Chain A
Amino acid sequence: MSRAPDPFTSDVATTDRRTFLGLAAAAGATLAAPDLLAAPLAKETVAFGFANADLQAVLAVALSRGGDFADLYFERTRSVSLTLEDDRISRAHASSDLGVGVRVVKGDAVGYAFSEVLDIKAVKKAAATAAAIADGKAKPELLPIEIAALPTYYSRDFRFANIDIDQKKKLVTEVNAKLKAKDPRVVKASVQYADTDKEVFVVTSTGHAWRDHQPMTRLWANCVAEDKGKRETGGYNIASRKGFHIFDATSVGRLVDEAVRRTVLMFDAVTPKGGEMPVVLGAGPSGILLHEAIGHGMEADFNRKNTSVYASKMGKPVAEKFVTIVDDGTLPDARGSIHIDDEGGQSQKTVLVDGGTLSSYLHDRISAKHYGVQPTGNGRRESFRHVVMPRMRSTYMLAGPHKKDEIIRSVKKGIYCESFSNGQVNIGAGDFTFFLKTGYLIEDGKLGRPVKDINLIGNGPDVLTKISMVADDLQIDEGGWTCGKNGQSVPVSQGMPTVLVKAITVGGAA
């Protein structure tokens, strides 16, 4: 499931327990804090106040009942968000989160506990709790801890906490003024800025360790516009791991233009007649189709348990030869990028569908061991409070042989999709949905009136076979997507070239 949450509306509580996606963390810290990783440390201390001997001692407790593997995930996250409504920055939220998670793996079973108090006694207690997933006796042999160097897919040399709050205020205020100035029909504007500095230090019982800083920022603009007694709402957002300078004149201009355009466009929108029809997926945000239709189904934990619709399709053709789909942790500055996964797996570009053939699942350590393959760097977790699972990073389709114009021209009657808000999938049956926020009717090969707020539903493997044209215009969406699975949220990206799906069920009037 994937969602671009709207921070301005209350989260919808639902009775469907598959739909428990939280909002992306409201984010950021305000004031400089001691940097737990970079600051000069006491001689024996490795990180978070723990010396080598302490780490070894905790790992020894973790494996004391015969676990195969253990890791410690230390985290400090500081976030800040600013919200502007009615021309004033009327609220801020700052948060600070600190803790260490202890995981013990025995076969494919996991014991997990965490401590929010970083003293050795408390952490050992958590380790003893996690150890209980195994029930033998053991005297584990621990390897010396070596800290690994990481690749660089985004800068870790800055802290949002060190940027003056006035600069952040200025940005939010400027966006608001521009939204109001852009179109006189805008009657309400709201703007939210959020940033996060996440410091992690991870150490495993195999002697591996690494430190990372994982920055994240995001800026939302939302409008309500009124025209001739009619009211509509719309918005746009930009998310990145790049520093504060991502918000320059160009990106802020685009944010404002798109937020307003997507709002006033709705005055002309119609509800289409529902049913099965050809759908053109616009470049960029339409990557949500890949996330739902195939991405989740390729997460190897589901396949290991034989609960995915893709469980018996490895190595088989699933789409036309010009369809190649990847999940990539290495895109520069992307929200979905990671230097290393949350259990030490090297980040990489994993090919899910290679020239139309299913080629690799997305693995964490446990599933890779089950299948006897190398992990693909997809073992991720929301925080120190959560276990690792196979998760997506940036999921997209490579460019194909067709042209955007040619694709639209080929459709007599259908829908062109521009932007989306959320999606969901049933892993086993393969049915998935994605919710269209803005799009257009296609009539006789031309874009017609706008459409809005309709759900699209299809079956993953079936829709893959119906991708009949792929354009050469791949775009990675710059919006902030958050993926939810088993109650854990992680940041992801998605992308797509313009694509034609021959038939998919579109919601609408009877």
Chain B
Amino acid sequence: MNPLQSSLDTAEAAVAELKKRGAQDALVRHRSARGVQCQVRDGRMEKLQESVTAELTVHVYADGRYAAHTTNDLRKAELASFLADAVKLTKMLDPDPARSLPAKELVLQKPAELGIFDSAYGKIDTDARKRLAQAAEAAGKSDKRVVSATADFSDEHGTTALVGSNGTYGAQRDTWYSLSAEVTVAEGDKRPEDWWVSTSRSIKGLGDAEAVGKQAMQRAIDRVGAAKLKSAETTLVIENRSAGRLLSYWLQALFGANLQQKRSFLEGMIGKQVGPARLFQLDDNPALPGGLGSRSFDREGLVARTLPIVDAGGVLRNYYIDWYNAQRLKTTPTTGSWSNLVLHPGSESLDKLLAAVDRGILITSFIGGNSNSLTGDFSLGIQGRVIDKGKLGAPVAEMNLSGNHKTFWNKLAAVGDDPYLYSSLRVPSLRFDGAAVSGA
């Protein structure tokens, strides 16, 4: 049978069973997937793993109460007993008037074509995976200073179906490929390392395997001799690969759960300026063809649609609010999580961004650190390169970047033309003027 239909049928049967057992409403997600990981080191396969999974997650609404349950034991009798228990447990909780399934007119009834399934998937065999990983690994150790290079080719093909008693009905297939390399070089007792990854919905989209290995190797070599600088207020350029991580902390304050629990520094900021006009403009776009975060429906079944987050004037337009928190906050739901978050690119290349900096730091990666969604305070370990008169200089390590999101994003001074394509956070390289870094 068509895998989409079979997945839908499994979910639909579970909804019926839950209702039979005493649930008034139910939303069921069925996901099955097959993935392979092939890792190569020293020219040969070091790890080969195949993962075949199937899982059912049921959201149960019974007597004004709610609980979610997950199982991978889909044998008929075991599943029936699991679903009966699910309803029993749900009924033992406290009633919550905000718990309900989304209104029928908001939920999915037919998925859109998003280019997230690669029909070439079935043609890739273990030898092809191994060849790609070997090519990346070989390129990653072509310099004498390399002490270890590892390359990893992973892929997954899955089917997700979502069926709800409120009319939610849809299923989608997706594929995902990733080729990465990790390279370590010698520097006395130290072993500086770096990595590179290419991720795509299609095998073609991965690009050149050797380029992945070479990028990782060059970046590792560039780490040799890293040292900390003195604490200072300085100009920063954050490379596209890492800029999304900083933005992801800011995004935490947009979530309905944090707003409802009074843990958001962006509470009450809709309609107000949160960043510089024409620079800090954000959209959530679930329909990007082949996007890593593209989707037709979110976890609650809400139909995905484009959502302006921050407009061209730097003004906050929307939060990420799921159906449940919308009921609690007595507001309109948007969606519970980001799909593809796009920070609108500028027109200058990374080189041009750097050229405009007299003295500063290019951040190539963050290490550790955290952020407080209530106060907006953040502090992150950084590594990168000195920028001196527009040119890249010595590697930098062992420093921290600290600030508060409420003021930090106002320091955004330039946006690159290079959105990072290997993440659902499509953020270009960014320049900030006057950031606090601490070191020696």
B193 touches A307 (CB 8 A): yes
Tell me which residues across on chain A come within 8 A of B175, comparing CB atoms.
none
Tell me which residues across on chain B come within 8 A of A409, comparing CB atoms.
none
State whether the Cβ of B432 lies closer than 8 Å to any Cβ in chain A: no
B191 touches A308 (CB 8 A): yes
Chain B 400-434: CB-based contact to A (< 8 A → 1; otherwise 0): 11100000000000000000101111000000000
Chain A 182-216: CB-based contact to B (< 8 A → 1; otherwise 0): 00000110100000000000000000000000000
Chain A 104-124: CB-based contact to B (< 8 A → 1; otherwise 0): 000011111111110000000
Stretch of B16-24, B207-215, B256-264 lying at the A interface = B256-264
Tell me which residues across on chain A come within 8 A of B2, comparing CB atoms.
none
A31 touches B88 (CB 8 A): yes
Tell me which residues across on chain A come within 8 A of B249, comparing CB atoms.
12
Given contacts A305-B41, A307-B147, A457-B368, contact A274 B93 (CB under 8 A): no
State whether the Cβ of B315 lies closer than 8 Å to any Cβ in chain A: no
A505 touches B402 (CB 8 A): no
Given contacts A31-B89, A94-B67, A94-B69, contact A508 B436 (CB under 8 A): yes
Given contacts A30-B89, A275-B231, A505-B400, contact A429 B193 (CB under 8 A): yes
Stretch of A251-259, A390-398, A399-407, A431-439 lying at the B interface = A431-439
Complex partner residue of B248 from A12, A86, A92, CB under 8 angstroms: A12
Cβ distance A310 to chain B, nearest Cβ, rounded Å: 8
Chain B: residues with Cβ within 8 Å of the partner, total of 102
Chain A: which residue is nearest B228 at the CB level? A505
How many angstroms from the CA of A130 to the CA of B51 in the assembled complex? 11
Chain B 346-379: CB-based contact to A (< 8 A → 1; otherwise 0): 0000000000000000000111111111110111
Tell me which residues across on chain B come within 8 A of A16, comparing CB atoms.
242, 245, 365-366
A433 touches B368 (CB 8 A): yes
Choose among A9, A88, A306, A507 the residue with the greatest number of B CB atoms under 10 Å from its CB: A507
Given contacts A9-B263, A457-B381, contact A428 B51 (CB under 8 A): no
Cβ distance A48 to chain B, nearest Cβ, rounded Å: 12
How many angstroms from the CA of A93 to the CA of B46 in the assembled complex? 37
B residues 232-262 touching A (CB-CB < 8 Å): 232-233, 241-242, 244-245, 248-249, 252, 255, 257-258, 261-262
Tell me which residues across on chain A come within 8 A of B148, comparing CB atoms.
305-307
Tell me which residues across on chain B come within 8 A of A233, comparing CB atoms.
263, 372, 374
Number of interchain pairs (Cβ within 8 Å): 304
Tell me which residues across on chain A come within 8 A of B76, comparing CB atoms.
none
B71 touches A95 (CB 8 A): yes
State whether the Cβ of A63 lies closer than 8 Å to any Cβ in chain B: no
How many angstroms from the CA of A459 to the CA of B439 in the assembled complex? 12
Complex partner residue of A507 from B70, B232, B438, CB under 8 angstroms: B438
A residues 494-510 touching B (CB-CB < 8 Å): 505-510
Cβ distance B92 to chain A, nearest Cβ, rounded Å: 5
A91 touches B69 (CB 8 A): no
B residues 175-210 touching A (CB-CB < 8 Å): 180, 184, 189-193, 195, 197
B262 touches A187 (CB 8 A): yes
Q: Which residues of B contact A (CB under 8 A)?
A: 41, 44-54, 66-73, 75, 82, 85-86, 88-90, 92-96, 98-99, 126, 147-148, 150, 180, 184, 189-193, 195, 197, 223, 226, 228, 231-233, 241-242, 244-245, 248-249, 252, 255, 257-258, 261-263, 328, 337-338, 365-375, 377-381, 383, 397-402, 420, 422-425, 436-440
Q: Which residues of A contact B (CB under 8 A)?
A: 1, 8-10, 12-19, 30-31, 80, 82, 85-86, 88-99, 108-117, 126, 129-130, 132-133, 165-166, 169, 187-188, 190, 224, 226, 231-233, 271, 273-276, 292, 305-309, 311-313, 385, 387, 421-435, 452-459, 461, 505-510
